[in-house]
Structure 1
Amino acid sequence: MLYTHVAGIDVHKKQVTVTVRTPDPRRPALRREKTRTFRTFYADLLAMGAWLAECGVTRAAMESTGAYWWPVYAALREAGGPDLTIDVVNAAHVKAVPGRKTDVKDAQWLARLLEVGLLRGSFLPPDDIREIRDLTRYQTKLTEERSREKQRLLKVLEAAGIKLDVVASDTFGVSGRAMLDALVAGERDPQVLAGLARGVLRNKTEDLRLALAGRFTAHHGQMIGFHLARLDHLDQMIDQVKEKIGHPGAPGTSRRAATEPAGLLAPFAAQIRLLTSIPGISDRVAAVIVSEIGVDMSRFPSAKHLAAWAGLAPGNNESAGRRHRARHRKGNTHVQSILIEAALSASRTRTRLGARFHRLHRRFGGKANKTAAKKAGFAVAHTLIKVIWTVLATGKPYTDLGHDYYTRRVNPETHTRRLIAQLEALSGKKIVLVDHDNGPYDDDSLGSHHDGEAAA
């Protein structure tokens, strides 16, 4: 018995069921249990918090069921004060009591698990971090919606026989947007539309004329107008969200502050600089990382704990001393997606992370295997999350170990013999090395080899 005055809360949309377990005043060796049901109106939730305080509850536990636990947590925090510890536990980690399942039994089971210390609260960042998290996630949703809207517009162009996306690499660039606006305005002459090209796209005037000669009708123009208006609105919303978050270089920031975060990110400027020192992590990725995991790494005992929490650690499936194939555990999908994106970006750099990606990509099958890049990206994301923990925990920027980190430790002579053996096995010929002083294709040196030999 670790906690004497506990409460288990079963949360639903319309009601919450609360079970309080406290010592029996008449028989201290026994436990007394009370269960009540409250509606989820905020006034009723405050009354629930007052009842828990009246019962002397010092620790309460509830499952993280979607968004329904948010007002319950806020009401308990307001009514219970600092003396009440609230554990929001993962529903997948709490097994229901065997037998008949009811809301009362769920609340009782939570209370019994809590009093003996079998529940562990989930990571809840501070309020300022949660505000940034809401905005960064909303920015991601807006960006995804903008991509979907572009696909809808391209579908209308395809139906109208307009092949602009075949010729122009960016249909929504300056040239593409001018042509789309002209189509909406009623222009149908392919020669006039192709003349709106700017920059290097002018070199494709003939192809543009052919691509813009379709069966574009007034109905298609109306649909394109709706899609363009929607895209403009989404761009405006994304700019407003970026400005509120405080992305460097966002609209509304001065040129002097273009390299420094503002808005809600301003208090975390030092952590943003530390994170952007890691290859593949941009200002946007750093903002998402701060909003999802915070900046206080004391919540995670080690880098491995953070990787497991984010769902970037390998899965474990061992039985009878044998390890079996296992999928990675579920975790924070927002951290997973943004770090895999950062890993693919880091793969294009001449750094230790880039070398690790290419090394793993070859190990997983290379271009012949369609999933090799995905597996390598996930593995590098696992490395990134551990680097992030170290950088934020120590307060020191990232120091790259070099693109040759995995090769400079290799003995050149041993590596040469290994490569020669592989080449001889593939070609069926004997490989002889020739010094550059004599010339790699010196006639005398080549003439000394017997038939069936090759000089390298």
Structure 2
Amino acid sequence: MQKALMEMNVQLHHVVSDITGATGMRVIRAIADGERNPATLAQMRDVRCHASTETICSALTGNWRDEHVFALCQSLALFDFYQLKIVECDRKLEIALRDLEGGDGYDIARLPKIRTKTKQVNAPDFEVRSALYRVLGVDLTQIHGIGPSLALKLVGECGTDLAAWPSSKHFTSWLCLAPGNKISGGKLLSSKTRRSSSRAAALLRLAATTIGRTDTALGAFYRRLSARAGKAKAVTATARKLAVLFYNALRHGMAYSDPGAAQYEERYRSRVIGNLQRRAKAFGFSLQELPSEPETAVS
């Protein structure tokens, strides 16, 4: 659709962030129905659209050649067809989750309070969080970085029963998120993580990249490790932490509660001070905290 619009010199993608959003689809459907007046098309903007009506009007001045309009109509019909097929897939997923419940399933009344109400892009059109809770008995979305869509994908890749892995270490090793130590003659030759084609590992890495921008304990861990060892290692290490939390929640019913970035930084500071004190004591020294400097008055 965007290609057909560009060939008509209609720069809709410059004034809206997504042409398949509310404003974009209203304009495209109006063009397909025969509307050509840029001012009329600009009036179809959604109230949440950042671009003004005048800006949208100037971007919708095109040549309206018949062959390009025909290509746009064909693309729009294909878009609607694919949307219909996606809805059918969502219905199939909903039925599959209902079949996994086994009896009445877990009581939905005990579902924890939702952590965020932001709807993810391309999320299924049914209540994934409630459906997963009926099957698993735990709310995976309480773990920061794991939303309903990601939780559904991880369960689809790993299953609902993780008993095949005796511990979280076995699980992270299977995902190739743990160090792959190569030892010869008692000497460590390499500890790089192995390459993996696992979709679950790729999803966890994407979640780790996103969580690095949040004010959470996992976000603080990502930023600290990224500054010290680089972003690549920080992504792998944070993805491993997410995998451990996912395993413990699904296998042992662990309820995750984020301590926050400030508490994580304080615990890290205490751990560093403890290590320094032990090293100083081993060399026969003792550490003392410097007295706080008095605040100077500013005239």
TM bucket by the smaller chain? 0.7 to 0.9
**Deviation (angstroms), 1:223:** 1.3
Which residue of the partner structure matches residue 270 of structure 1?
Answer: 137
**Deviation (angstroms), 1:175:** 1.4
| Cα distance in 1 for residues equivalent to 2:160 and 2:51 | 50
- Say which structure, 1 or 2, has more relative contact order (CA 8 Å, 6+ apart): 2
Does 1:435 pair with 2:294? yes
Counterpart amino acid of 1:260?
Answer: S
Superposed CA offset, 1:159-196 (max 9, x none): 33221111112221121111111222233222222122
Q: TM-score of the superposition, structure 1-length normalised?
A: 0.50
Which residue of the partner structure matches residue 260 of structure 1?
Answer: 130
Which residue of the partner structure matches residue 180 of structure 1?
Answer: 28
Counterpart amino acid of 1:330?
Answer: S
| Cα distance in 2 for residues equivalent to 1:303 and 1:259 | 24
| Cα distance in 2 for residues equivalent to 1:227 and 1:346 | 36
Q: Percent identity?
A: 29
Counterpart amino acid of 2:175?
Answer: A
**Deviation (angstroms), 1:199:** 0.6
**Deviation (angstroms), 1:288:** 1.5
Q: 1:318 to 1:164 in 2, by over 3 A?
A: farther
Superposed CA offset, 1:370-419 (max 9, x none): xx2x54333211111111112222212113233134421325997xxxxx
Which residue of the partner structure matches residue 402 of structure 1?
Answer: 260
| Cα distance in 2 for residues equivalent to 1:208 and 1:218 | 22
Superposed CA offset, 1:55-95 (max 9, x none): xxxxxxxxxxxxxxxxxxxxxxxxxxxxxxxxxxxxxxxxx
Does 1:390 pair with 2:248? yes
Which residue of the partner structure matches residue 171 of structure 1?
Answer: 19
Does 1:316 pair with 2:206? no
One of 267, 287, 303 as aligned partner of 2:168: 303
- Contact 1:260/1:269 (CA < 8 Å) preserved in 2? no
| Cα distance in 2 for residues equivalent to 1:362 and 1:266 | 37
**Deviation (angstroms), 1:240:** 2.1
Unaligned runs of 5+ in 2: 99-122, 274-291
Which residue of the partner structure matches residue 363 of structure 1?
Answer: 228
> Once superposed, what is the RMSD of the aligned Cα atoms?
3.0
**Deviation (angstroms), 1:360:** 2.2
Matches within 5 A, 1:221-240: 221-240=69-88
Which residue of the partner structure matches residue 64 of structure 2?
Answer: 216
Which residue of the partner structure matches residue 151 of structure 2?
Answer: 286
| Cα distance in 1 for residues equivalent to 2:64 and 2:83 | 26
One of 189, 192, 197 as aligned partner of 2:40: 192
Counterpart amino acid of 2:154?
Answer: I
Higher normalized strand content (fraction of residues)? 1
One of 328, 335, 340 as aligned partner of 2:205: 340
- Contact 2:176/2:193 (CA < 8 Å) preserved in 1? no
| Cα distance in 2 for residues equivalent to 1:364 and 1:317 | 20
Which residue of the partner structure matches residue 352 of structure 1?
Answer: 217
Unaligned runs of 5+ in 1: 1-152, 366-371, 415-432, 443-456
Which residue of the partner structure matches residue 239 of structure 2?
Answer: 381
Q: TM-score of the superposition, structure 2-length normalised?
A: 0.73
